[in-house]
Structure 1
Amino acid sequence: MKQTNKSLFRAENGKSYLIPFILITCLFLLWGFAHGLLDVLNKHFQTEFTMSKAESGLVQFVTYIAYFLMALPAGSFMKRFGYKRGIIFGLLLFALGAFLFIPAVMIHSASPFLVALFIIACGLCMLETAANPYSTVLGPTESAAQRLNLSQSFNGLGWILGPLVGGLLIFGAEQGDQFALARPYLLIGIVVIVVALIFCFIHLPEIKEEIIDEAFPDEKSTLKEMTPTIPLWKRKQFVRVVIAQACYCAAQTGIFSFFINYVTEIDTQISNTQAAKFLAFGGMALFMFGRLTGSFTMKWLKPNKLLRQYAFLSIVCMLLVISSIDVISLYALYCSFFFMSIMFPTIFALGLEGMGSKTKKASSYLVMSVAGGAFSPILMGHIGESQMAIGFIIPLLAFSYILYFAFTCKD
């Protein structure tokens, strides 16, 4: 274990980044929990506010469109005030949105909940814009993707706890309990405030531009001096990585959002509460396990090669899900959580390679691409209104592009 800590979290000058890495990893857990709750809200809104599947996709729409609107301002804020202040500000926005669920339940309309979710998402965008690149530079350059996958594995733990707690407190509440929706958000709001206070009083090393330059040096070539002047959007591989990240977020959000719908349609004996538990202990547990094992697999298999294999297997899973072959399709849906688990952090890390001083701006665009998740639930809900399985053609197309992207990456 000591050797692992040294290789992953110790800079070339001997300075240990283990403690900062642990603190940053806690943020991944928090926003994973928040995103996990969304998948319960999606199904609950269909019943509580008499929404169609497409209309319930507004839950994900307001969340992920906030990433699109907030990503560049978040990057600018980070550049001017630093990562630590950005993290604290993001946590405060997170807590504000969570506490707004209390007055929202008194109105009994979907609109105030959507506003609260939008504010939460703005805070999450701040956290992700800071934490993703921060995690990659807290150690040797060659283990950046491995380190980010390790952090993201705790994000997976949050995805497990979100539907579990949400399912118990929301689906498990008594009929007519108007505060059922507010309870999990009141809980997370209090936790987030405590974490914000911790960040206010602890020392967190600021990652300067020159450290980022060392962590993500520009491509070694005869044009090395010219590389930093090339605009991001003229770098073909960067354009591909942004599209790939948008496709991944579309696939992940769609699969997570309609997991409960799919399971309860395949087996009508399964209740919403049971489906939420299956999502937590089945799908999300495999998601977390995939990120943990993916992080260590990258010690001997390059990230782009692992991405190729997992993208191909995700395509196979989606074909089986669309086919609706009873229990086989259910297991395929579970397996898709494992295979897509490493995609976000791996694509993110690959996208920051060779960016040098442009890393913060590139990170903002990659976080902005999370907006791909804003539209897929609405589209999937519309396509799968009568039969949810058909809607999974959207993740199928998304994974197909990711496979193409993985083959464009240098070995």
Structure 2
Amino acid sequence: MELISVRLASIALVSLAFAPLASCQEAATPAAGGQAGDNPASVDFAREDMGTFDEPWAMAFEPGTGTLFVTEKAGTLKFRKADGTVGTVSNVPEVDYGGQGGLGDIVFAPDYASSHAVYLSFVEAGPGDTRGAAVTRATLQCDQPDSCTLRDPRVIWRQDEKVTGSGHFSHRIAFSPDGDFLFIASGDRQKMQPAQDLSNNLGTIVRLLPDGSPAPGNPFTAEANANEEIWSYGHRNILGLAFDARGQLWDLEHGPQGGDELNLVERGANYGWPNVSNGIHYDNAPIPDHAPGDPYVAPVEWWDPVIAPGGMIFYSGALFPAWQNNALIAGLVSQGLVLVKMDGTAATETARYDFGERLRAVAEAPDGSVWVAEDGPEATIWRLTPGS
């Protein structure tokens, strides 16, 4: 194990580097949106190596057992039991692997105790050189200590339409706290303008019933030619989608060059992409900033330089009181965990914990420990617990 001690002074942000049984403190830096963080708590944690996985993309703990399930981007679904046993799940959908495409998110159904239903997102091939994200629902059956299978998988949702390219699938999944509604993030597929076109579901967050049908009461059902799944639109590439302790839905998305966003997701709202952004295009062409009075919803928190988020949770456990009800973000370019303090509808980055490696995913275990997955091949998954 390695023990990491973090000291956060008032009106300051502390970044630290991992070192065995030691810590180091860097100069205070402002939060990315221009505000200084204020969190006087001290956080000590140890990290434990829980195994190596190949391009892990998402993690989820099976309700009732504490078994960790991990999606690997090339199309393998694995699990790790509390005793260290690692196994593989068969009958996973065939994925179109390449670029940002492959096997994506995993979420257990709210009624998993009775249904054993699990939801997986993935990228599937289309006609010609096209592809798009999809979500399948299946029943998880585990008859052997080191193997499980997906029974009766059925695709319940697809990006409409499939297009060329291998980027910006998003395909994050979140259930509403009451379990009644299924939300799926659908990226703009690097095509930009479809995010402002309600006739398709690219660049949107959709709201469905658990069986994949459009949810009653969605905001655009009465509009001619509008996709009745859409809950919000004007999104770019959503890599985090989660409900906070107040039951509010938040998304975390990659901006272009600059302008990563944390958004409070509201019914029928337009988040502006590609018409506005707090970043610029990769060729340095300008994009109008979010501005008061424009018809778009501005991000609550944003980053320039970017953090390049890999995933997000709202921590609810008791092991880390200073993190409770706040957002923990796995950072790719930022190479560590980013802590965002939540205060109602406000959010402010308050700390970064430097791992020195790109982080792809973060999950909370039933015991309140935090698990983080590095990005890429031969990636380590770490278990974080309070230090002494």
State TM-score, norm by structure 2. Answer: 0.25
State TM-score, norm by structure 1. Answer: 0.24
Q: Return the structure number with greater helix share.
A: 1
Q: Return the structure number with greater strand share.
A: 2
